[in-house]
Structure 1
Amino acid sequence: MNKMVGLWAHPRSRSTVLERVFIERGDFEVFHEPFAHMAFSEDSTIPSDEWDHSLPTTYAGIKDQLIQAKERAHVFHKDMCYHCLDELKVDLGFLAQQENIFIIREPASSIISHHRVHPDMPLHAIGHKALYEIFCVVTKLTGKVPYVINADDLAADPERIIRKLCDYLQIEFLPHAMTWKRECPPQWKTWRSWHVAAENSDRIVLPEQQAADTEALDQYPKLKAMYEYHRTFYARMNEFCQ
């Protein structure tokens, strides 16, 4: 039976570069933020690039697309829980038929990174709260704590983290999937401007040391308030990182 792996993330969590590993594997059909197409359109204020009008734009349509893909291949999809939070919270059947894994990044860093791309992002789009809500739903559904990856651990020691994830998913670790050509995979084209660093990478790397993001937040009261709101949800999930 084919697997479906759902990587649930918040924006700027390094989820895209983790997705790239699954693209390079070659044994998964990979969907990049499919539920974003129910949350946004080409006319939305959020920055987008080459909009793909062939994709479904309803929760039911997107879910059916993923389920149908699973009939022919292993499926990996990554998305932001806030894109489809209300529907996903009550769709236990969909959550039950996949491996639900979560990735988190310290909110000061993710918020500053988010602000650089989309300065007008609303509070809920920071994403940690929605991610935590689905984390709790999956915990109750399965009776066990879901698999959580800290993005800083991934960047610092990618092979160790990916090997552990493969063990958890009961799939083979494929060394060739840890490196790739510097290019934009077709899945990313709608949101290309969000993934410049990932597109220009050839592996998962630890970024150069930058000024402390918590200090940078002090320059922006709005961002500081966002950080204060979301950091509790990050801290709760971080207790369970693998």
Structure 2
Amino acid sequence: MSAAPKPIVLWAVPRSRSTAFLRIMLERGDLEVAHEPFSYLQVDGHYEFAGMRVASTIELLDAMFEVNANERRVFAKDTSDYKYPQLLEDGRLFSDVVNTFMIREPRGAISSHYAMNPKATLDEYGFEYLHAIFDAVRSATGEVPLVIDGDDLVAKPEATVRAYCKRVGLEFKPEAMHWNPGEQNKWQRTTRWHSEVAESRGLEAKKPKQRETPDTNEHLRRIADHHQPFYDALARHRITA
């Protein structure tokens, strides 16, 4: 009997359209989907996963592996505005998980993030730490992890999702690319961050909203200048579907 497929984790910079990607994974219906479990665990001190209440990253990984082995393959999405030192010290993250990454051109991501949280710190914009997680995975596994770009996702949704699925060992399901609008229990705690996905029926490029950008705001320009090299380093590895 062949080994069961490993759980998948998508590490994403905030405002990269990662929740829209998670919405596709939810619509498939064949995965146990976790929305930002490591972030929620850090903020709340606990996380509810597949009917289990966990209170540490060790317990969360244990639960993910149990569900993945005995029930359904696990897909989790999390963001790099928090830091996860205990998790990165657990070798199972590298040996027993498929770690994938999602980026977005910094000016768009930073403008969107600032509109939601103008008090965000430099680190909370997340590109530098996402690159640190990427490097940790690459160093531990000797392989270059999969990277997708949120701009590619809306420009070429089917091709990007199809390429992602092929790399992580999932069947591509075209019917999962569309859904009925509505809030999801998975992201209820942080619902204000996901209103655009909740109102959508699928992936589509939209005209950017009028908001502060690095071109109009000196504070955002400095943030973008700091994070651009980390985006560039990751973007060199992104799949081009």
- TM-score by length of structure 1 reads 0.88
Amino acid at match of 1:150: D
Any stretches of 5+ residues in structure 2 without a counterpart?
A: none
Q: Which 4+ stretches in 1 moved above 4 angstroms?
A: none
Deviation at 1:227, TM superposition (A): 1.1
**Structure 1 CA distance, aligned partners of 2:56 and 2:117?**
24
Amino acid at match of 1:85: Y
SS in structure 2 of the partner of residue 188 of structure 1: helix
Structure 1 residue 175 corresponds to structure 2 residue 178:
no
- Map 1:137-156; keep pairs closer than 5 Å: 137-156=136-155
Equivalent position of 2:124 in the other structure: 125
Equivalent position of 1:47 in the other structure: none
- TM-score by length of structure 2 reads 0.88
**Structure 2 CA distance, aligned partners of 1:93 and 1:65?**
13
**Structure 2 CA distance, aligned partners of 1:133 and 1:122?**
17
Amino acid at match of 1:24: E
Contact 1:59-1:87 within 8 A present in 2 as well: yes
Amino acid at match of 1:67: F
SS in structure 2 of the partner of residue 6 of structure 1: strand
SS in structure 1 of the partner of residue 32 of structure 2: strand
Deviation at 1:134, TM superposition (A): 0.9
Equivalent position of 2:36 in the other structure: 33
Contact 1:37-1:56 within 8 A present in 2 as well: no
- Map 1:193-212; keep pairs closer than 5 Å: 193-209=192-208
Equivalent position of 1:62 in the other structure: 60
**Structure 1 CA distance, aligned partners of 2:164 and 2:119?**
34
Deviation at 1:36, TM superposition (A): 1.2
**Structure 2 CA distance, aligned partners of 1:4 and 1:158?**
23
Contact 1:27-1:74 within 8 A present in 2 as well: yes
Contact 2:37-2:76 within 8 A present in 1 as well: yes
Structure 1 residue 74 corresponds to structure 2 residue 73:
yes
Q: Which has the higher contact order (CA 8 A, sep 6+)?
A: 1
CA-to-partner distance for each residue in 1:47-105, whole Å, 9 max, x for gaps? xxxx97x8534322332332232232100001013434312332222222111110000
Gap change, CA 1:9 and 1:55, over 3 Å in 2: farther
Structure 1 residue 4 corresponds to structure 2 residue 7:
yes
SS in structure 2 of the partner of residue 217 of structure 1: coil
Deviation at 1:240, TM superposition (A): 0.7
Q: Which stretch of the first structure deviates more once superposed, 1-10 or 97-106?
A: 1-10
**Structure 2 CA distance, aligned partners of 1:62 and 1:122?**
27
**Structure 2 CA distance, aligned partners of 1:172 and 1:155?**
20
**Structure 2 CA distance, aligned partners of 1:168 and 1:79?**
19
Any stretches of 5+ residues in structure 1 without a counterpart?
A: 43-50
Equivalent position of 1:45 in the other structure: none
Amino acid at match of 1:148: V
**Structure 2 CA distance, aligned partners of 1:57 and 1:124?**
25
Gap change, CA 1:202 and 1:167, over 3 Å in 2: same
Amino acid at match of 2:75: F
**Structure 1 CA distance, aligned partners of 2:189 and 2:63?**
18
Amino acid at match of 2:202: R
Count of residue pairs the alignment pairs up: 232
Contact 1:35-1:84 within 8 A present in 2 as well: no
- Computed over aligned residues only, the root mean square deviation of the Cα atoms, in angstroms, reads 2.2
**Identity between Structure 1 and Structure 2 (%):** 32
**Structure 2 CA distance, aligned partners of 1:88 and 1:221?**
35
SS in structure 2 of the partner of residue 113 of structure 1: helix
Contact 1:217-1:223 within 8 A present in 2 as well: yes
SS in structure 1 of the partner of residue 207 of structure 2: coil
